[in-house]
């Protein structure tokens, strides 16, 4: 349901998460996140996540009103313009449409493992600090059919504003488990029959096309600069690398994830 609200004061507490959009932490500590852009907000409206408010132009409200009105909750709807958003947030936007919603509770590992009867495809992240990289990995994971995301304790949260935006809202489709100790979680997965595969370029690693990926697997991606922490690498059963041209040792983690996930998908589709 739409509840129209005028923007009478930019310091209105209801607008605080929008004013804080440029901060790296966004509203994550409050259990909230900001979605921005038509495609991301539209995907958000199709979920069961609780939406607290919308900040958008009259044009976008007219286009989305039937979907908004079909929601169960009452959504505070602030009408504005692109210039109004710039005044509020401190930076411009391509599309005058944003939303504030509650971050979903993390899933238990058991819930993810029981979510499907086919061989699992899980992705684990260790130490990624860039929200854009996390969002790109999420988008690649969903695009190639991942069943769940495991986020290590030193990893950027996937519901930061930039991560949500870069994922193009695909994060809404991916169950997320927050691991207190990634090494322990990986060993637990092994005990449950999930093979843990480190995406890690080094001399002893197997080439990606040499490793069968048809069984339940968890692909573990490391940080942008250092790769996987030694303890995480040790906790994985197999290390796999992408064959590279001479003089180049690795790809950006977002690009590498697309290659790994494609190969996994290719093997499963051809089997």
Q: Would the CATH topology of 2-102 be identical to that of 109-270? A: no
pLDDT for position 29:
60
| pLDDT at site 187 | 98
Average pLDDT score over residue span 93-113: 92
* Measured CA distances, 240 to 39, 202, 205, 258 (Å): 35, 9, 5, 14
Q: What is the mean pLDDT of residues 7-18?
A: 87
CA distances from 177 to 148, 157, 174, 185 (A): 8, 11, 10, 10
Task: Enter the pTM of the model.
Answer: 0.93
Mean pLDDT of the region 51-62: 96
- CATH code for the part of the protein at 109-270: 3.40.1280.10
Residue-wise DSSP of the chain = -EEEE----TT-GGGHHHHTTTSTTTTGGGTEEEEESHHHHHHHHTSSS-EEEEEE-HHHHHHHHHHHHTSSS-EEEEE--HHHHHHHHSS--SSSEEEEEEPPPPPPHHHHHTS-SSPPEEEEE-S---HHHHHHHHHHHHHTT--EEEE-TTS--TTSHHHHHHTTTGGGGS-EEE-SSHHHHHHHHHHTTPEEEEE--STTPEEGGGS---S-EEEEE-BTTTBS-HHHHHHSSEEEE----TT-----HHHHHHHHHHHHHHHHHH-
Average pLDDT over residues 24-32: 63
Domain boundaries, the chain: 2-102, 109-270
Q: What is the pLDDT of residues 107-133, one digit of tens each?
A: 999 999 998 889 999 999 999 999 999
Residue 253: predicted pLDDT: 95
Under CATH, which architecture does the 2-102 domain have? Answer: 2-Layer Sandwich (3.30)
At 186, is the pLDDT very low, low, confident or very high (cuts 50, 70, 90)? very high
Q: State pLDDT tens for residues 129-176.
A: 999 999 999 999 999 999 999 999 999 999 999 999 999 999 999 999
């Amino acid at each position: 349901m739409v509840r129209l609200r005028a923007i009478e004061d930019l310091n209105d507490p209801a607008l605080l998460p929008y004013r804080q959009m440029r901060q790296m932490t966004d509203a994550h500590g409050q259990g909230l996140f900001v979605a921005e852009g038509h495609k991301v907000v539209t995907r958000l409206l199709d979920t069961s996540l609780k939406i607290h408010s919308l900040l958008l132009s009259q044009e976008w409200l007219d286009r989305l009103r039937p979907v908004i009105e079909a929601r169960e909750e009452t959504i505070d709807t602030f009408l504005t313009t692109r210039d109004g958003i710039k005044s509020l947030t401190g930076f411009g936007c391509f599309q005058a449409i944003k939303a504030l919603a509650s971050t979903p509770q993390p899933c238990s590992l058991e819930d993810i493992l029981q979510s499907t009867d086919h061989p699992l495809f899980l992705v684990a992240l260790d130490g990624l600090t860039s929200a854009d990289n996390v969002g790109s990995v999420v988008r690649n994971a969903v695009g190639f059919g991942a069943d769940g995301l495991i986020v290590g304790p030193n990893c950027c949260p996937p519901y930061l504003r930039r991560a949500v935006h870069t994922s193009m809202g695909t994060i809404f489709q991916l169950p997320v488990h927050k691991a207190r100790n990634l090494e322990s979680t990986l060993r637990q997965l092994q005990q449950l029959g999930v093979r843990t595969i480190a995406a890690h370029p080094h001399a002893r690693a197997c080439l990606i096309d040499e490793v069968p990926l048809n069984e339940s697997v968890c692909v573990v991606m490391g940080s942008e600069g250092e790769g996987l922490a030694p303890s995480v690498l040790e906790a994985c059963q197999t290390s796999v690398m992408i064959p590279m041209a001479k003089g180049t040792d690795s790809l950006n983690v977002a690009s590498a994830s697309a290659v790994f996930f494609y190969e996994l998908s290719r093997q499963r589709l051809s089997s």
